[in-house]
Amino acid sequence: MKTFNEKLANWIHAVPATEAGINNIQVPGQPELLIWQTRYKEPTVYEQDFVQHLIKAFAAGVTELADLVQTLNQQGFRCESGELWTSESFSEEMQRLGY
């Protein structure tokens, strides 16, 4: 089973075509079902760890950005660069990751 949609990688910075999607039409009874249709690559270890720390924070009732940043820092989870989180760096990371 595929863990990401290989076709999305080609569309990240693509210019929309003026014609219909040739060779992208599903054949009835033969659809390719992808669990992760919106992923263009598998998540990295850092991204998976990030998700786990966010889940812990949200499960603890954190709802505000400042509190979330503080909680991530208290958990010992750092930015990919190794720096402490700030509201700005968290927002930039969410934008980079596409959330």
Q: Which residues contact 23 (CB under 8 A, 6 or more apart)?
A: none
pLDDT tens-digit series, residues 8-20? 766 666 666 666 5
CB environment 33-61: b (16+ within 10 A), e (fewer): ebeeeebeeeeeeeeeebeebbeebeeee
Supply the pLDDT for residue 47: 93
Average pLDDT (51-63) is: 97
Q: Is residue 2 part of a domain?
A: no
Q: What is the mean pLDDT of residues 48-58?
A: 96
Q: Is 97 helix (H, G, I), strand (E, B) or coil?
A: helix
What is the predicted pLDDT for the residue at 21? 59
Locate 50 and state its tokens.
């990030």
In total, how many domains does the chain have?
Answer: 1
Q: Determine, yes or no, domain membership for 15.
A: no
Coil, strand or helix at 58: helix
8 within some domain: no
- Domain annotation covers residue 93: yes
